[in-house]
Chain A
Amino acid sequence: MELVYFLIEVVVKSIVVFACLMLTVAYLTWAERKILGHVQVRYGPNRVGPFGLLQPFADGIKAFFKEDLIPGRADKVCFVIAPMIVIVSAISLFAVIPFGNKLVLLGREIKLVIADVDIGILYIFGLASLGEYGVVLGGWSSGNKYGLTGALRAAAMMISYEVALGLSIIGVLMISQTLRLTDIVLGQGGGFWHWNVFLQPVAFVLYMVCGLAELSRTPFDMPEAESELACGFNIEYSSMKFALFFMGEYAHMVAVCAVSVTLFLGGWQPPIPALSFIPGVVWFLIKLVALIFFCIWERGTFPRLRYDQIMYFGWKFLFPLALINLVVTAIVLAIR
């Protein structure tokens, strides 16, 4: 009987998280176009529904009915698998992210996280790197020069920044002494001055910069440089396969911001203990939306860097900075 309850709980939580994520991704595409529009003093989508709110659904239906083209020179199996790898790896990151504290429902204590595993961070980094396979496979299997170049650039940039990304969170691990995400959140309780962003400010900046590079967003949107590569690795994709790449990118963006909230901004903890009557999910969402807004905002602000500048920045500035941060954190913790 306990097993049946457990199964129901797992399935319900998975479906709810999945549905909420898909809705967020759909409206993220709307929000990005709307905010970028207002940044550039224009309206953005405003025709379909009030304020263009039905635009994501119109786009989805349109993508479904477009021609599903597999180019003649493509490697057909890899060409179909690549977008699936990207979206599945991006969606499955949410399996370990805690959205709130425990909830008591029908006499059962339910944790607001799909799977509370003790290697949460390793899981996230492993699956996040899996998405790069999708990018490389997609670019390579299209049989297109632009696609191949874009995929290689994307892969080289992502793995370069992953080194600094991996180093940047070690300080957080040293402070919270665990890889389990729920414990990391619990360790930041009791007011915003306990959040890791104030204990590890350099690590937070490093994480966000490297996260933007992992997402290949401006200023690191080299793989998609429209002016020279037409569209980068997804140039030959059409119909729903292109939409899957697109959705995967946005789901990954939500995931990077959610991990950032969990590691640095106290997850679902309220900023001051007196405000804990508001459910943790609300705090989590507020912080998440703030970070996502930052990601969209900076896209409207920064120009694109040159490719060699991006690689120099990653290897010659961020990597040593992350190492220094690690050593300084270790020494300070040892002296205290």
Chain B
Amino acid sequence: MLYGYFAILVYILIALGFAGFVILASHVVGQRKSTATKLSPYECGMPTIGPTLRRLPIRYYIIAMLFLVFDIEIVFIYPWAVIYRSFKGFGFFILGEMLVFVGILIIAYIYVWRKGALEWE
């Protein structure tokens, strides 16, 4: 059943070819007269002061880490969700398992909230 993935590959190649062709074509067709002013960063007409790649606020890193943790937990729930109804013979066992898992997730969430990681000043 790898045929499906082959079809996806063909389709992505078409998309890639389109994107590459468009960028190449506009590079060839469009005019090019670059001056020093034109190549400088656009800041609404003001001359740029200092480096343009500055240090980033720590908030963004925290959000990225929180995303990683919570998104991975969610991916773990996916296979459980798919087989949930067919495992009903086990009674409430499979439901209880997931409630424990989600409970741990909620404890982590409350911890993050109480620590102030979700605050933006």
Please give the residue numbers on chain A whose beta carbons come within 8 Å of chain B beta carbons, in ascending order.
6, 10-11, 13-15, 17-18, 22, 63-69, 71-73, 80, 83-84, 87-88, 91-92, 94-96, 114-118, 121-123, 140, 142-146, 148, 152, 155-156, 159-160, 162-163, 166-167, 170-171, 173-175, 177-179, 230, 235-236, 239-241, 243-244, 307-308, 311-312, 315-316, 319-320, 323, 326-327, 330-331, 333-334
A64 to B66, CA, bound (A): 41
Check B16–A95 contact: CB distance below 8 A.
no
B82 to chain A, nearest CB (A): 6
Check A177–B121 contact: CB distance below 8 A.
no
B-side interface mostly: helix
Check A308–B120 contact: CB distance below 8 A.
yes
Check B71–A177 contact: CB distance below 8 A.
no
A26 to B86, CA, bound (A): 44
Closest to A178 in B: B82
Type the 1/0 row for B77-115, where 1 means its CB is closer than 8 Å to any CB of A.
110011111101000100100110010011001000100
Please give the residue numbers on chain B whose beta carbons come within 8 Å of chain A beta carbons, in ascending order.
1, 3-8, 10-12, 14-16, 18-20, 22-23, 25-27, 29-34, 36, 38-44, 48, 52-54, 56, 59-60, 63-64, 66-67, 70-71, 74-75, 77-78, 81-86, 88, 92, 95, 98-99, 102, 105-106, 109, 113, 118, 120-121
Check B3–A68 contact: CB distance below 8 A.
no
18 examples of A-B residue contacts, CB within 8 angstroms:
A10-B7, A64-B29, A67-B31, A68-B32, A94-B11, A117-B5, A144-B42, A144-B52, A163-B70, A163-B71, A174-B82, A177-B85, A235-B42, A239-B30, A243-B22, A244-B23, A311-B63, A323-B102
B100 to chain A, nearest CB (A): 12
Among A83, A88, A311, which residue has the most Cβ atoms of chain B within 10 A? A88
| With A64-B25, A83-B19, A145-B54 as contacts: A14 and B11 at CB distance below 8 Å | yes
Closest to B24 in A: A240
Number of A-B contacts (CB under 8 A): 206
Neighbouring A residues of B71 by C-beta, 8 Å: 159, 162-163, 166
Check A115–B102 contact: CB distance below 8 A.
no
Further contacts, 16 of them, CB under 8 A, given A311-B63, A316-B118:
A64-B25, A64-B26, A64-B29, A67-B32, A91-B18, A92-B11, A122-B78, A144-B42, A145-B52, A163-B67, A173-B82, A174-B84, A241-B26, A244-B22, A323-B105, A330-B98
Check B11–A114 contact: CB distance below 8 A.
yes
B31 to chain A, nearest CB (A): 5
A118 to B90, CA, bound (A): 26
A159 to B3, CA, bound (A): 32
| With A115-B11, A117-B5, A159-B67 as contacts: A152 and B56 at CB distance below 8 Å | yes
A17 to B27, CA, bound (A): 27
Check B52–A69 contact: CB distance below 8 A.
no
B114 to chain A, nearest CB (A): 12
Check A177–B83 contact: CB distance below 8 A.
yes
Among A94, A96, A177, A315, which residue has the most Cβ atoms of chain B within 10 A? A315
Check A160–B11 contact: CB distance below 8 A.
no
Closest to A89 in B: B15
Neighbouring B residues of A175 by C-beta, 8 Å: 85
B16 to chain A, nearest CB (A): 6
A6 to B7, CA, bound (A): 9
Find B16's partner among A10, A88, A174 (CB 8 Å cutoff): A88
